[in-house]
A and B are shown apart, each in its own frame.
Chain A
Amino acid sequence: MSFLELTNVDVSFGPPSNQVDILKNINLSVEENEFVAVIGFSGSGKSTLMNLLSGLQMPSNGSSSFKGSSIKEPGPELGMMFQNYSLLPWLSVGDNVKLAINRVFPKLSKSEVHEKMLHYVMMVKLDHAVDKKPHELSGGMRQRASLSRTLSLDPEVLLLDEPLSALDALTRSELQDQILNIWGNDKRTVVMITNDVDEAVLMADRIVPLTMGPGATLSKEFIVNIDRPRDRHTLNDDPEFMRLKSEITAFMLGLNKENKELKTESKVTMPDVRPKDFSLPSGAIKFSHLQKK
């Protein structure tokens, strides 16, 4: 029994006669303290996969389990970081994080909560914006605030739904290091969705591609055997990195091509309609067809 597991999971919606499959036959097992990256194209159902893992959505078939028992409802142990930040707009950044902290650690005093909040906010380098409301922040800052709130939950599993996709390259690398740091220090289980192969190879132990939707499934895994700690500066010259990167990229492109070929061109037979008369219509009324009667 692995730590976090999805067994033969299907997710579909609609009445049984007209069902649309989003995910089909998903099998994923994540070991404790493992870092798994899921790569996929847009629209393949990555967020649905995350919802399954966090308990926000139930599978139509199959089962999901966490530490042996099935996932029935979401909770702070499965810390989810949403793709569209989900910061409460009437609370400041600090208050958003405090809301999470107060929920998970109800016994702490006010000053302790404040300290904890500052610790997590400083971790994502947002201490200058603690009292700002989300609509006063840039997109990247909002993502960092959301990450900080998720981290403050102190979850056992971190579920990151494209956490760094909206950031610029420099902030991205900083936050990648930070996430790795946090993971390294506390050794949490992390499942991350990303669309950047470099990022996946840099950060993950295992990379699982998600095929294209509808009816997406997890296909061939890639184990990343590069030693930790991974240094991004030297990684570019590492032959293993280069091999993995080219393999995975080729694989993804292959998936894309397959998908395109699999699409049957809808050949609808057109009725054989031909005009009887090619002459241009004039204003005069033709009585010829009336005279036939």
Chain B
Amino acid sequence: MEKIKYLLLKTIDITGLTFLAPVVRLCYREEPQVQLKKIGQWIIVPLIAVFIALFIIYDGFIVDTFKTKAGKLPTSSKIYSSYKSIDQLHDDELAKQRAYHLSGEERVEALNAVDEKISSAEESLKLATQAVKDEQKITDREKAKKVAPAEAEYAKLKEDIKAAAALRDEELRLLSESVTPGDGAAAQKLLERVRADNAQDSLDTEARNLAKEKTNSIRLEPSPELAERKTEETYHVERLAFLKIYKQLLSSKNKSLVIDEKKEKIAAYETELSVLTGADALKKAKSIVRQESVMGNKKESEYAGSKTIWYQVERSILCVFTGFLIGSIIAIPMGIFCGLNKTFMAIMTPFIAIFKPVSPIVWLPIILIVVMGAFPNPDKHPFMEFLAELPLIGVYKINPAFMASAVTVALCSLWATMANTALGVASIDKDHMNVARVLKLGFCARLFKIIIPSSLPLIFAGLRISLGVGWMVLIAAELLSSSEGIGKFVFDEFNNGSSDSLAKMVVVVFIVGIIGLILDRIMIIFQRLVSFEGSAATI
């Protein structure tokens, strides 16, 4: 039993999840008071802080503070519901894909089941639409009531202003008539009065506009119940639309059905062909061959739907690792040479200093040109075809945009690794080098047996920073290069501008953050595995 405990504790230590240690210790009844205190400190208090930050401060204060005409920040329940809708979209696309490929008995079964679902969905939609209509009536009535006083005020103000303006015009006319030619003082007075009149006019216009805005704002105030009913209705509309498309994919657009249709058609044509001759026969034969080729294409086809969030997440992760790998392959050997040879370091310093602070958004257009130039005909290029054939990765369809994003990630993230590697190699303990000298180790042996193991902790520290930077850079790079990934999702939502786009963006914030956290944890584990006592700082 003790062995399991120590194994668990060692795993927790390596993975850096130290807040779980008191839980394990409590299970083994070791110093319960101390463990409870630690659990309170490391688990309960942070949870309470998150709870307060999210539900009380954010929902209570921040959401209401920043309101614009374009929209406002989503509350946490809205964020959760848009997460559900993104996930639902993913499930729907998967279902559609499966339906496309279904055939035979399963297809018929699914078709029958779907009809029932459609009818019940139509029912719910009817109810929801009715609810919306009812709510709309109520809201309109209430709104009218609310707006009435403001409207009355506005009308009165207009009237008052008009009357006052008319009075002033009359005064001005009288004054102007009283001015005799050559009477300078009177003319001045007239001028002043006209100016005053003008100023009063603009003040009046402002007041009028203010009152109008007030009525408008009351009118445009959204009613939360109406919004709720509307979202429900939209939900039912979407479900119904999905079910209809699903049914289509099981019937008229189903792959196996279409193929069977084509087969029948071809058989019919062939029987027709047997009784024809001459030009007709040729035409018929050609159309048969055409149908056959279409059928062939159909057999190979995949369901072409839009890509969903989880596919995009996986592709993003693949992209960041590709970029990270490219960057590390360049950075680590260069860093080692920099550390070993001061002249090389001096040569590299201007390049590093200038390229390090450059932002990925600036790199991307340049990289796009380079990559497009390297793969002028991406579909026919042997390297791209090779990548498409790879077992696991082929499904992600690597294209030049992907390569461009990966190269941008590499360029922006390799500097941290290079700097840390150079530092690690340059700061080896002199004693280790003395050992190498006494043992008369050759250059290769010295490099691989002493220099690299001694600087591994710093190299991994650099790699960890690089991966973090790379993940941040990736989203921007994907957004600009329209490579299918989280960046593209953000770009689509940004352009979409629908009512819950903002909530979806916040969901993306959390997704990106959690994935970044996991990547960081993985690197921490690697870092801890290679570090030894007396090695450089392992945070």
Contacts and interface: CB of A to CB of B under 8 A. Distances in A.
Contact of B440 (A74, A80, A90): A74
Contact of A73 (B431, B435, B437, B453): B437
B533 A82 contact: no
Interface string B88-114: 000000000000000000000000000
Interface string B446-457: 000110011010
A95 B49 CA distance: 50
Nearest to B456: A90
A88 B437 contact: no
Given A74-B440, A76-B439, A99-B439, A89 B532 contact: yes
Interface in A39-97: 54, 56, 73-76, 78-80, 82, 84, 86, 88-91
Given A88-B453, A135-B533, A103 B434 contact: no
Contacts of A188: none
A85 to B, nearest CB: 8
Given A99-B449, A133-B533, A135-B532, A88 B432 contact: yes
Give the most central of B431, B453, B535: most A CB within 10 Å: B431
B431 to A, nearest CB: 4
A75 B432 contact: no
By secondary structure, the A interface counts as loop
A100 interface: yes
Interface residues of B, number: 19
Contacts of A133: 532-533
Given A75-B440, A103-B441, A88 B435 contact: yes
Contacts of A80: 434, 438
A86 B450 contact: no
B305 interface: no
B440 A76 contact: yes
Contacts of B535: 89
Interface residues of A, number: 24
Contact of A76 (B431, B432, B438, B456): B438
A8 B533 CA distance: 42
A220 B434 CA distance: 32
Contacts of B532: 89-90, 133, 135
Contacts of A104: 439
Contact of A82 (B431, B440, B453): B431
B278 interface: no
Given A76-B439, A99-B449, A100-B439, A86 B533 contact: no
B534 interface: yes
B453 A86 contact: no
Contacts of A86: 431-432, 434-435
A153 B432 CA distance: 16
B450 to A, nearest CB: 7
Contacts of B439: 76, 99-100, 103-104, 153
Contact of A90 (B434, B435, B438, B454): B454
A134 B535 CA distance: 13
A86 B440 CA distance: 15
B488 to A, nearest CB: 44
Contact of A56 (B434, B441, B454, B534): B434
Contacts of B449: 99
A228 B431 CA distance: 36
17 contacts: A56-B434, A56-B437, A74-B438, A75-B438, A76-B438, A82-B434, A84-B431, A86-B431, A88-B435, A88-B454, A90-B456, A90-B532, A99-B449, A103-B439, A103-B440, A134-B533, A135-B532
Given A54-B438, A82-B431, A86-B431, 10 more contacts: A56-B437, A73-B437, A74-B437, A74-B438, A86-B432, A86-B435, A88-B432, A133-B532, A135-B532, A153-B439
Interface of B: 431-432, 434-435, 437-441, 445, 449-450, 453-454, 456, 532-535
The 8 closest A-B CB pairs, nearest first, are A135-B533, A86-B431, A103-B439, A90-B532, A89-B532, A90-B453, A74-B437, A74-B438
